[in-house]
Amino acid sequence: MNRAFSRKKDKTWMHTPEALSKHYIPYNAKFLGSTEVEQPKGTEVVRDAVRKLKFARHIKKSEGQKTPKVELQISIYGVKILEPKTKEVQHNCQLHRISFCADDKTDKRIFTFICKDSESNKHLCYVFDSEKCAEEITLTIGQAFDLAYRKFLESGGKDVETRKQIAGLQKRIQELETENTELKNKVQDLENQLRITQISTSPAASVTPKSPSTDIFDMVPFSPITPQSTTPTRNGTQPPPVPSRSTEIKRDLFGAEPFDPFNCGAGDFPPDIQSKLDEMQF
């Protein structure tokens, strides 16, 4: 292994200061993973970590798993590890937390760096596999350190504290966004439950109209005691009204009672007419 920052004074850097201070330098590599280490620096420390993660990679390969590809974005603010297609940030290693960086001279595909985790405060060694750019990536991280240190001297240390505060605020914003998303999901679930409860307890859903009982001919039974129901029959037609029986004597339009020759009394006609009427009855 070789320390990336122990370069000769006359060695020129690969990138312009503007590229690392205002933008970032991207690289593609395979990510073997990260593992906790006891010390923040040291060649033997990273060598043991590389050996451990290489062995884990061989086991995963035998099981048919592929080594994931990642994109590295290197700047004076740190090293970001992203998913190449979605650009989702998997790890954000701030530069002031990186304590050691090296490439493996026995295996030129491998390079590593040690970073102190912001949550657990443990030192983690990140190991990568790059077919052609392992040494170049290590030198780029070294150049980012050099530029960051110069900026630190120019600002009197205020720039580092500002970056720490910004990083803390960004982390808090991400936590609040996660909490906001969870609260929105809970509110949506409660609204759905309330809507289901209102539908199940509404009077229209619980009361069913009662239909009148019918006989085998699908007719409403007649009861002389109770008045006839005005409910229409099953076929939708209204039963005809029952004519009322009246004891009143019908009269003609002149107010006279209708004439019935057979119901008239004997004293109603002259004797000659009455005798003829009697003959007609026989």
What's this model's pTM, rounded to 2 decimal places?
Answer: 0.54
In a domain, 12, yes or no: no
34 and 116 co-located in one domain: yes
136 and 186 co-located in one domain: no
In a domain, 221, yes or no: no
- The last residue of one of the domains, among 197, 215, 250, is 197
Instruction: Tell me the C-alpha distance between 158 and 16, whole Å.
Output: 24
pLDDT value at residue 174: 75
SS3 labels along the chain: CEECCCCCCCCCCCCCHHHHHCCCEEEEEEEEEEEEECCCCCHHHHHHHHHHHHHHHHHHHHCCCCCCEEEEEEECCEEEEECCCCCCEEEEEEHHHEEEEEECCCCCCEEEEEEECCCCCCEEEEEEECCCCHHHHHHHHHHHHHHHHHHHHHHCCHHHHHHHHHHHHHHHHHHHHHHHHHHHHHHHHHHHHHHHHHHHHCHHHHCCCCCCCCCCCCCCCCCCCCCCCCCCCCCCCCCCCCCCCCCCCCCCCCCCCCCCCCCCCHHHCCHHHHHHHHHHHC
126 and 63 co-located in one domain: yes
pLDDT value at residue 186: 87
Q: Tens-digit pLDDT profile for the chain (282 aa)?
A: 444 444 444 457 889 999 998 899 999 999 999 999 999 999 999 999 999 999 999 999 999 999 999 999 999 999 999 999 999 999 999 999 999 999 888 888 999 999 999 888 899 999 999 988 899 999 999 999 999 888 888 877 566 566 666 667 677 787 788 888 888 888 888 888 888 888 877 665 555 555 556 666 666 666 555 444 455 555 555 666 655 555 555 666 666 666 665 555 555 566 776 677 676 665
Domain of residue 164 covers 157-197
pLDDT value at residue 128: 96
pLDDT value at residue 33: 95
- The last residue of one of the domains, among 121, 155, 189, is 155
CATH assignment of the domain containing 95 = 2.30.29.30
